A and B are shown apart, each in its own frame.
Chain A
Amino acid sequence: MKKIICVILCIIFFSLNVYAVGISPSKKIYEFEPGLSEIIEFNVINHGDEVLNIEFQVIGDLEKYFSLENAAMSLEPGETKLFKTELTLPQDLDLAPGDHRNLILASELPKEIEGGTTTIGAIAAVGYVVLVKVPYEGKYLDVLIEVSEAEINHNVYFKIILESLGKQTIENANGNLKIRDEYNETLTTLTFQESNILFKEKREADVVWEEGNDRAGIYNAILDLNYDEKTKHVEKSFRIGELLINILDLNEKEVLKNRVTKLEILTQSMWNKDIISAYAELEVESEKTKSQSVDYEPWEEKNIPIYFDSADFETGTYEAKVTLFYENQTSEKIFNIEIVSPLFSLGNLLIYMIIVVVVLLAVILFVIFKKRKLFKSKNKLK
């Protein structure tokens, strides 16, 4: 019994503690030069609520050129300490052109884990990025597409960032930016031009897709760039509008008391990609019912069945809140549901009316039959 209590306490203890490590700043970029020597400094922050023991290590292709001042440090809750290291590159170092990304990792020291059976703990580590850029021989353009998220039928703004990383000046750069939809069909092609981009120079070309598109979803921007007989191909996906599933209707607005009724929620995806594992929840007077999960194809209309048990409700009209959960989002709609006694349900009323009509017809036929009989017997007497 004591062991079980210990295990439970350990689980609670480990669940409540918050382990957090931060660094500031988080990145440094260097242009490569032989014999480069730099002191790198950053602050290490303990955001957590207990003492944090940190160890440092460098990973990357230049790790052997770093000399760490401290391999470990301890921080009180809320404390910040300065960390220093030196990067010294040899004079004769021959590095391949491009970006050489190295990380100085600040990791929590692993803690003793007590869980009882099979337990996997997690610790956080933060990496300080040291980026060493080695220039290319000749001409070389690095290209990055930035795009703002846009609303439906609004302009979409692209920023094409060109950075010359080759030692020779780029005389002309011509770009074709194709916008493609979910079927890979090209919706529009936008163009831009830049000239005389010097070594290490960064240029920004602004390109606008006017009025965008009228359908929400994820689109692809595909850039083919030609510069001084060289080419570059870059792709970037972006969003127009919001991921949304509309709740259109509820098929039954009247349910019988003391019955489990299958309701169907009519919904439609307003998104151009698949949406998986969506489900609905029906809430009436704090009583909640969940549906099974459903998947949507782009723009698909779907009926989600949900079973409502009216046993605990009195007859009357209730607000029924339908909530749809999907991709960390929700859609809501409120309907009125009427819970009726089986005696007064619409279906039963029809049956009652038919019975009344049949009875009335029977009475009328009976009266006619009686009258005829009386008439015949009177004639006989005459």
Chain B
Amino acid sequence: MAKKISNNLLSVLLSFAILTSVVGILASMNILSPLTGAATSANATVNISVTSIASCTMADTHINFTALARGATNWSEATNSSGYGMVNDWHTLENDGNTNLTITVWGSEALWDSTNNDANWMARCNNTQSGTCTTTYANVPNTVGSAITVLTGLEPLDASDLASFGLNVTAPNDELTGSKSGTLTYICTTV
């Protein structure tokens, strides 16, 4: 058996419905403005300031050379007349921020035990989708303050945000045998 709705409840519901309608009409006629920030005309100018983000990702973080004899040289390129080549291995960096980047590089962890000589490892920019690539090999400095510029103007858009970098290493004549590892730090800064 359905319960009967009381007159009091009906009057409350009716009052609420009338109030909602009136507020709605007033709001739509801009007499009452419960919404703030709404556009008040068809044309508007909006000033938006986008905060710059400088960000970079190392997509390919390792270059693996084959074993080297003392005094021998190897490098990233696939074509190598010295007989040690066919490496075709590059460090790859992506600009995943929203501002153009300058890329500098330095040797944050020495590759060789016997020497800290910059000339025993050199770096260059191989290819870039944007900006200016320094494609000649330059000695890798061992202090951050002397980091060398390898690329300027790397853009953040997806089609133009990738660059690759190569290395040229020469095993020192008095280097001890064993596996060797070094680390390059790629510094990304906004222009």
Q: Is the CB of B62 within 8 A of A14?
A: yes
Q: Is the CB of B64 within 8 A of A20?
A: no
Q: Is the CB of B189 within 8 A of A129?
A: yes
Using known A-B contacts A107-B108, A120-B111, determine if residue A47 contacts B55 with beta carbons closer than 8 Å. yes
Q: Is the CB of B181 within 8 A of A21?
A: no
Among B54, B67, B185, point to the contact of A23 (Cβ < 8 A). Answer: B54
Q: Is the CB of A120 within 8 A of B189?
A: no
Q: B138 an interface residue at 8 Å Cβ cutoff?
A: no
Q: Is the CB of A59 within 8 A of B189?
A: no
Q: Is the CB of A118 within 8 A of B188?
A: no
B78 to chain A, nearest CB (A): 12
Which residues of chain A are near B54, meaning CB under 8 Å? 22-24, 26-27, 126-128
Among A15, A110, A115, point to the contact of B108 (Cβ < 8 A). Answer: A110
Q: Is the CB of B59 within 8 A of A125?
A: no
Q: A39 an interface residue at 8 Å Cβ cutoff?
A: no
Which residues of chain A are near B144, meaning CB under 8 Å? 57, 59, 105
Using known A-B contacts A15-B62, A124-B93, determine if residue A118 contacts B180 with beta carbons closer than 8 Å. yes
Q: Is the CB of B121 within 8 A of A120?
A: yes
- Bound-state Cα–Cα, A59 to B111, Å: 23
Q: A197 an interface residue at 8 Å Cβ cutoff?
A: no
Which residues of chain B are near A120, meaning CB under 8 Å? 62-63, 65, 91, 111, 121, 167, 169, 181-184
Q: Is the CB of A119 within 8 A of B179?
A: yes
Q: Is the CB of B184 within 8 A of A25?
A: no
Q: A143 an interface residue at 8 Å Cβ cutoff?
A: no
Q: List residues 21-37 of chain A with CB under 8 A from any CB of chain B.
A: 21-27
Among A110, A116, A118, point to the contact of B183 (Cβ < 8 A). Answer: A110
Q: B43 an interface residue at 8 Å Cβ cutoff?
A: no
Q: A347 an interface residue at 8 Å Cβ cutoff?
A: no
> Which residue, B54, B60, B171, has most C-beta atoms of chain A within 10 A?
B54
- Bound-state Cα–Cα, A166 to B180, Å: 53
Which residues of chain A are near B181, meaning CB under 8 Å? 113-115, 118-121
- Bound-state Cα–Cα, A22 to B96, Å: 8
Q: Is the CB of A20 within 8 A of B56?
A: yes
B13 to chain A, nearest CB (A): 48
Which residues of chain A are near B59, meaning CB under 8 Å? 18
Q: List residues 95-130 of chain A with CB under 8 A from any CB of chain B.
A: 103, 105, 107-108, 110-111, 113-129
- Bound-state Cα–Cα, A253 to B1, Å: 92
Q: B51 an interface residue at 8 Å Cβ cutoff?
A: yes
Q: Is the CB of A107 within 8 A of B185?
A: yes
Q: Is the CB of B74 within 8 A of A118?
A: yes
Which residues of chain B are near A47, meaning CB under 8 Å? 55, 57, 96
Render A278-301 as a binary contact track against B, CB cut-off 8 A, 1 for contact.
000000000000000000000000
Interface size class of A (residues with CB under 8 A): 35 or more
Number of interface residues of B (CB under 8 A): 49
Render B162-191 as a binary contact track against A, CB cut-off 8 A, 1 for contact.
000101010100000001111111111110
Using known A-B contacts A22-B97, A57-B144, A110-B108, determine if residue A123 contacts B55 with beta carbons closer than 8 Å. no
Using known A-B contacts A105-B187, A107-B108, A113-B181, determine if residue A123 contacts B53 with beta carbons closer than 8 Å. no
Among B68, B109, B185, point to the contact of A125 (Cβ < 8 A). Answer: B185
- Bound-state Cα–Cα, A35 to B118, Å: 39
- Bound-state Cα–Cα, A129 to B183, Å: 24
Q: B149 an interface residue at 8 Å Cβ cutoff?
A: no
Which residues of chain A are near B91, meaning CB under 8 Å? 120, 122
Q: Is the CB of B62 within 8 A of A119?
A: yes
A222 to chain B, nearest CB (A): 18
Q: Is the CB of A22 within 8 A of B65?
A: no
- Bound-state Cα–Cα, A122 to B188, Å: 13
Q: Is the CB of A118 within 8 A of B169?
A: yes
- Bound-state Cα–Cα, A22 to B97, Å: 7
Q: List residues 44-73 of chain B with CB under 8 A from any CB of chain A.
A: 51-68
- Bound-state Cα–Cα, A128 to B180, Å: 32
- Bound-state Cα–Cα, A56 to B108, Å: 14
A28 to chain B, nearest CB (A): 11
- Bound-state Cα–Cα, A103 to B106, Å: 15
- Bound-state Cα–Cα, A128 to B91, Å: 23
Q: Which residue of A lies closest to B182 (CB)?
A: A120
Q: B134 an interface residue at 8 Å Cβ cutoff?
A: no
Residues of B participating in the A interface, judged by any CB pair closer than 8 Å: 51-68, 74, 91, 93, 96-97, 99, 108-109, 111, 121, 127-129, 144-145, 165, 167, 169, 171, 179-190
Knowing that A22-B56, A118-B64 touch, tell me 5 more A-B residue pairs with CB under 8 angstroms. Answer: A11-B64, A15-B62, A120-B182, A122-B165, A122-B183
3 smallest CB-CB distances across A and B, nearest first, come from A22-B55, A26-B54, A20-B57
List 24 A-B residue pairs with CB atoms under 8 Å apart, sorted by A's residue number: A14-B61, A19-B58, A23-B55, A24-B97, A26-B52, A26-B97, A26-B190, A103-B187, A107-B108, A111-B183, A113-B181, A115-B62, A116-B64, A120-B62, A120-B181, A120-B184, A121-B181, A122-B62, A124-B57, A124-B93, A125-B188, A126-B55, A127-B187, A127-B188
